[in-house]
Amino acid sequence: MTRKWIELSSTTALSGLYLRAARKRKISGDSLPASGLRCHLGVDPQQLEAYRKLCHFSDDGRLPPTFPHVMAFALQMQLLTAADFPFPLLGLVHLHNSIRVLRPLGGISRLRFSVSVDNLQPHEKGATFELITEAEDGLGLLWSQTSRMLCRGLKLGGEPAVADAPEALALSELTRWYADSDIGRRYAKVCGDYNPIHLSAASARLFGFPTAIAHGMWSKAMALAALRGHLPVSGYELEVGFLKPVRLPSEVILNTSPTAAEGQLQLDGHGELVHMRGAWRSLR
């Protein structure tokens, strides 16, 4: 696919993007747009401080590795609510997320973000695509993220791909935390992600959930914050698959392999629930 980039001077206000999302309820096509969006975005110091507190990141002079996702959220929303995007945003399911930290995220006040979609594939419940987000400074690419999203109900030809499961390592508890009933609203206030499934039991029931559920990217951020002292400053990738949602309120346990250049993690609930499973590896 030849990518056509649209350069923006700023992003559309989130309130307008949510109105766009609410208006689109049906699938309107079965191919992804070739255009992507680019925009320079600055770090909001107050938002960064609030995000660190919310996700338990210490202030070490570097951006939390999940914070560029927050910075780019409105740009991602703008792409996924554009007229040429064929799937309704409300109802998309975040299945998998991979973040690469290529260079240290210190001393940053402004980044150039690019967002695009690619790799539409059949899935047993519909079809998946990748939402790709990249961040550059004056020296080039320093951070990237790939989110695999599921659009339920879309039928494509071909068989769903089956990924090989890595050999499981022995895991032990690293830490645990309590996801209280208002964490979805607190995350939304800081990060702008007001998906109704995270806000209250009443709004979550409209989308088939008996209670509100935690944002997957909050769970990943909490895991990264717990691993921060064990990961290198840069040159690594951490990917996770989102499995059973974390129903609010509930306690979760982060289990990891012995911390090393490569390892595995699993976020468990009580009663043999597995909420998230992932791995990290060196890019060196």
Average pLDDT over residues 196-218: 93
| Fold classification of 168-284 (topology level) | Thiol Ester Dehydrase; Chain A (3.10.129)
More confident residue, 157 or 49: 49
pLDDT at 206: 87
| pLDDT number for residue 105 | 97
Split at pLDDT 50, 70, 90, the class of 166 is confident
Q: Which range among 130-134, 152-156, 213-217, 218-222 shows the weakest confidence by mean pLDDT?
A: 152-156
Domain boundaries, the chain: 1-163, 168-284
Q: What percent of the chain has pLDDT over 70?
A: 99
Rounded to 5 degrees, what are φ and ψ at 203?
Answer: -75, -30
Residue 1 has what pLDDT? 63
Is the pLDDT at 143 greater than 70? The verdict is yes
Checking if the pLDDT of 157 tops 90, the result is no
At 271, the pLDDT band (50, 70, 90 cuts) reads confident
**One fold for 1-163 and 168-284:** yes
Residues 3-27: tens digit of each pLDDT = 999 999 999 999 999 999 999 989 9
Instruction: Write down the H helix ranges in the chain.
Output: 14-23, 45-55, 67-71, 73-80, 183-191, 201-205, 216-227
Query: Number of C-alpha atoms within 13 angstroms, CB side, residue 211?
Result: 14
Q: Where are the beta strands (DSSP E) in the chain?
A: 4-8, 35-42, 93-101, 110-123, 126-137, 140-152, 172-179, 236-242, 250-256, 263-268, 274-282
pTM: 0.95
Average pLDDT of every residue of the chain = 94
**Tens-place pLDDT, residues 66-76:** 999 999 999 99
What pLDDT does 71 receive?
98
Mean pLDDT value of segment 159-186: 87
Q: What is the dihedral of CA 260, 262, 267, 273, to 10 degrees?
A: -120
Name the pLDDT band for 128 (thresholds 50, 70, 90). Answer: very high
CA-based nearest residue to 37, from 88, 70, 105, 85: 85
CB 149 within 8 A of CB 131: yes
Determine the average pLDDT of the residues in 125-136.
Answer: 96
**Which class is domain 1-163?**
alpha beta
For residue range 79-121, list pLDDT tens digits in order.
999 999 999 998 899 999 999 999 999 999 999 999 999 999 9
pLDDT mean over 156-160: 77
pLDDT at 153 over 90: no
